[in-house]
Amino acid sequence: MRANLPDWASQHVAFGDKLVAEGEGLAARPSLDLRVNTLKSDRPKVLKSLERFGAEATDLSPLGVHIAAGERDSRTPNVQVEESFLKGGFEVQDQGSQIAALLASARPGEQVLDLCAGAGGKTLALAAAMDNKGQIFAHASDRHRLAPIYDRLTRNGVRNVQVRPPSDSLDDLVGKMDRVLLDAPCTGSGTWRRRPDAKWKLTPEQLAMRVTEQRAVLAAGARFVRPGGMLTYITCSILSDENEWQAADFLATHPDFEPVDLAHAMYEVSPALRERVWRLPQGVLLTPARTGTDGFFAFSARRV
């Protein structure tokens, strides 16, 4: 065991001599992060509504609010009973997830497909970034995971999302999307600080299964991108197999796509972000030790 990581997993990360520091970050107690819903509120209002919890503005996400982790036995405040939450003023979302969604660079008026929407966290973030203009198609293969999205859209005041359940065909969207977001199924290794036991349960065989699923998702998502449009691939993983190696494999098997340098997108999110992330051969990686977030990888490619 190295850096409080399983021996086999420590061979699948790109941390080099920073392995111990990154392992310690993944073992630290996480903060509670919230994303301000700009369709209904702003950060000063949300901060004021949560000031008794010691809420502060996040240092990287321009939309984030941070409530620091307390002592070992202290409880995280249940902010979902607060009036500002019930009125749609904010969502619970890790700062890393907020940044990953912003790196997709969705713009008002665009046609966007969120192919692995799940419960809709990043769909909501995209809708706010687009100021409710344009169209987002939210799809997921699991009906049960998708179910919460309907209430969340209503509470957040989102009007530009069309939910496409698993039974719906997406053939009408092929080759037409300005942006496709793939929040891919992954090992969740980037969230090990929230689920410390998960790192000891993960096996190489499970990782291999996820990698196979991700290749299929990438191939499926590529079909929907119009010429000149962009695909953004996101995982909540720190493992190279799911991240930069997956991106390299996609580019090798899809010659009609070229990688997009995320430097400008990072600067738009926060001028400090470019200096804090891991810059990988393909894409960028956020980690608890470097960015104070869960582990998130983001990679973008443009269809030529």
Active-site positions read 236
The residue with tokens 């000891």 is 200
Task: Say how far apart CA 36 and CA 50 lie, in whole Å.
Answer: 12
Task: Say how far apart CA 60 and CA 293 lie, in whole Å.
Answer: 10
CB 269 within 8 A of CB 60: yes
CB 256 within 8 A of CB 231: no
CB 234 within 8 A of CB 297: yes
